[in-house]
Amino acid sequence: MLRSPRFPIVLASLVVLVAAGAARAQSGATLSPDRLSYMVNKDLAGERWTINLDLSTAEPRQLLNATGNVFKPDGSPPVFVLCQIRDDSTGDLADPSSTFRFTCQGADACATTATECAQTGWSVISRDVQIPASFFLPPNGNGSEPLASSAAGAAALVARHGFAAIALARVRALWGGLQRWLADPVEVAGIVPRRAWAGVEASRGATLTYDGYNYLVNKDLGGQRWSISLNLVPVQNDDGTFRNDVVSLTGNVFKPDGSAPSFIHCVPRPDSTGTLDDLGSTFRFTCDGTSACEDTALGCAASAWTLIGDDVQLSASFLLPPGGLPATPQSDPEIVIIGRTSDPPSIISTDFDLTGDPAADASTAASVAGACPTGAGCSVRVGGCDAVLGKVVLTDQDVCGCRLDEVPASCITCGDGATGSCGGGCSFPVGNTGLIARGLCLPFASGADGCACYAIGAGRKLAVQHCGGTVRARCPGQRCCADDPRDGCDADGGVDCPGLCVFAPGGECPGATDCVDASGDYSGTNRVDGTCTGPQGISIPISSSDASTFTIVQSGCSFVARANGDTFATGTISGNRLTATGTPRDFDIRGCSQSGSTQTFGGTLVGDQLELDGTITASGSCEFGDVTCTLDSSVSASR
């Protein structure tokens, strides 16, 4: 992460739309033809926000993130932003008056490789950025559904929160009630402005978002400024895992005369040969353009876009930082890699020793004369192991080699038998004549301490099974979902991070025989009862029952509970009993500081029925006195 704050974004008045001056480009919004990007070019707090609210699916509508650029009025380099939706966000594109709440991070233009900057180049701007849904919409709104009645709308909003989020929302509302009880009410804290932060100015360029879904670009092309994003979305595979597919290139093109910018939406042509692995390759797109929408979002998506180019060519270098992706490591051609997707691949090496007795084995003896003794025993030096056993085979290229179906991870552990560290490139020797296998350091087993070097064949890419993410994909069979060290996404930060399916020792995830499978989507009811006590013995009772929806993602006998993509509890499972610890939110009230908070839950899962009981305690020290809250929470939900 960047150690010094360098993102001078003014956030104090994010919910106030500032009218653009005559010299500024016209503001507006629209929806892309594929209905996956709500594209915005508007002013907030005196700064120009050129961003996309990205979806992973249009039906059902599933929000992915918000990405783009923030341009500063002083003409200094813009900032790349990535915002992820908080679990307590009540924003709904069907209701322009609702409010989205985001956790936002920022980054300067990347000076090295995209993967390195995704891992280390992002820093938190604010954990609570509030933006009205109207900011993402044209003047006449989304146009998809009529606005719900206030009662139905409230129920729908409640249904999007998990049990802990609901309970803590009641605590937050309670503080608002407490303010009305006091003679001198305090003001709910807003977002603190961030003025010019110290640091070296960023240059215009490109970077990769830390969740791996967007290649963000802010560069000049043909005398115009392009603020665009190459967008990937998670797509479910037949086996339950997912892959990331490039679906579009979207954004704004600014003209040097200050006239209104153009929104663009491009899709790759079938004959495009561009690849992010090769800076010199070229992407070919079919591109449509439009101006700011004056109708509904869906109406403009259907009819406002016009073709601006059937063959728009962009070099991969335009979409990437100076160091590229980087390119996929390649093993020496003499090493044949038999691809696997969930554990280190098999290897065929032409540099091997026979393990039989030449005097007693005619076929082995014949090998000395040049024949290939297929089926004979053989051994190969691999990484830190002098002799990994295998069988002699004749490859499709009529080359005699030793096939190693099981390469022990201990032989190629990164930092030991192989060079490299988790998430980066790696290499290890194969045979005794200087052949080198190259690849990526990735986790090799659930619960394993470290990464193995996954070799990649010459001219190939590494095939892996992706799990988790916003689609919450599960691994097939007894494979387990482990963190992907190649991205900068931190699951502990309460977001849905993509992961990798890894080998599970013995064919089962660790602890699988000691706990039930609690993973899945749950819906039910949550009840909260308790009191908060303030100065002079003021006591405010809390008693409510609400709808609740949440998701449990399990790895082994550990799990995280999430709502709207935000982790609100983590815990373990023993048998069919779940215990969890949550993280209550801070009370955002000026004049108060959080003194302490705890949140615990426990209960059982019988079949698909989950019953939990929990306790939430919180205390705050305020200018007007101390406040303590104790709440009992119970959940009854089914999947």
SS (H, E, C) 370-391: CCCCCCCEEEEEECCEEEEEEE
Do the beta carbons of residue 543 and residue 634 sit within 8 Å? Answer: no
| φ, ψ at 512 (rounded to 5°) | -60, -30
Point out which residues pair with 614 in neighbouring strands. 601, 633
Do the beta carbons of residue 476 and residue 485 sit within 8 Å? Answer: no
In a shared domain, residues 246 and 295: yes
With respect to residue 181, please indicate whether it lies within any of the assigned structural domains: no
In a shared domain, residues 135 and 274: yes
DSSP annotation string for 424-459: SEEEEEETTTTEEEEEEEEE-BTT-SSEEEEE--TT
In a shared domain, residues 404 and 550: no
Do the beta carbons of residue 18 and residue 44 sit within 8 Å? Answer: yes
C-alpha angle 428-484-417 in degrees, rounded to nearest 5:
20
Q: Which of 425-429, 435-439, 529-533 has the lowest mean pLDDT?
A: 529-533
CATH code at position 617: 2.40.128
Domain-ending residue, one of 270, 298, 319:
319
In a shared domain, residues 201 and 251: yes
With respect to residue 364, please indicate whether it lies within any of the assigned structural domains: yes
In a shared domain, residues 315 and 220: yes
With respect to residue 15, please indicate whether it lies within any of the assigned structural domains: no
SS3 334: coil
With respect to residue 542, please indicate whether it lies within any of the assigned structural domains: yes
In a shared domain, residues 574 and 484: no
| Confidence category of residue 627, pLDDT binned at 50, 70, 90 | confident
In a shared domain, residues 496 and 530: no
Q: Which amino acid is at 622?
A: C
Name every residue whose Cβ is closer than 8 Å to that of residue 150 and which is 6 or more positions away in sequence: none
pLDDT attached to residue 226: 86
SS3 343: coil
In a shared domain, residues 492 and 594: no
With respect to residue 183, please indicate whether it lies within any of the assigned structural domains: no
pLDDT at 197 over 50: no
| Confidence category of residue 427, pLDDT binned at 50, 70, 90 | very high
Point out which residues pair with 40 in neighbouring strands. 29, 51
pLDDT single digits (tens) 354-412? 997 554 444 443 444 458 899 999 999 999 999 999 999 988 778 899 999 888 888 99
In a shared domain, residues 286 and 346: no
With respect to residue 509, please indicate whether it lies within any of the assigned structural domains: no
Domain-ending residue, one of 462, 480, 503:
503
What's the CA gap between 464 and 514, in Å, rounded? 28
Distances in whole angstroms, Cα of residue 26 to Cα of each of 96, 194, 252, 481? 20, 25, 12, 46
SS3 300: helix
| φ, ψ at 446 (rounded to 5°) | -65, 130
468: left (phi over 0), alpha (psi -120 to 50) or beta: left
C-alpha angle 596-597-603 in degrees, rounded to nearest 5:
155
Query: How does the average pLDDT of the chain come out, rounded?
Result: 76
Higher-confidence residue: 532 or 228? Answer: 228
In a shared domain, residues 33 and 149: yes
Distances in whole angstroms, Cα of residue 302 to Cα of each of 31, 127, 346, 501? 9, 35, 49, 39
- Paired tokens of 505: 């020792």
Q: Which of 9-23, 94-108, 166-180, 461-475 has the lowest mean pLDDT?
A: 9-23
| Confidence category of residue 69, pLDDT binned at 50, 70, 90 | confident
Name every residue whose Cβ is closer than 8 Å to that of residue 110 and which is 6 or more positions away in sequence: 116, 117, 121, 205, 206, 207, 208, 321, 322, 323
Q: Which of 3-17, 201-215, 333-347 has the lowest mean pLDDT?
A: 3-17
With respect to residue 7, please indicate whether it lies within any of the assigned structural domains: no
Pick the closest to residue 393 from 411, 412, 380, 410 (CA basis): 380
Q: State how many domains the chain has.
A: 3
The CB-side HSE value for 623 (13 A sphere, CA atoms) comes to: 10
pLDDT at 16 over 50: no
Domain limits for position 519: 514-638
Domain-ending residue, one of 280, 295, 319:
319
Distances in whole angstroms, Cα of residue 170 to Cα of each of 149, 526, 601? 22, 11, 17
With respect to residue 8, please indicate whether it lies within any of the assigned structural domains: no
What's the CA gap between 267 and 282, in Å, rounded? 14
In a shared domain, residues 441 and 309: no
Point out which residues pair with 91 in neighbouring strands. none
**Element holding 214 (H helix, E strand):** strand 214-221
Global pTM exceeds 0.75: no
In a shared domain, residues 312 and 350: no
CA gyration radius, the chain:
28
Do the beta carbons of residue 81 and residue 105 sit within 8 Å? Answer: yes
Do the beta carbons of residue 68 and residue 105 sit within 8 Å? Answer: no
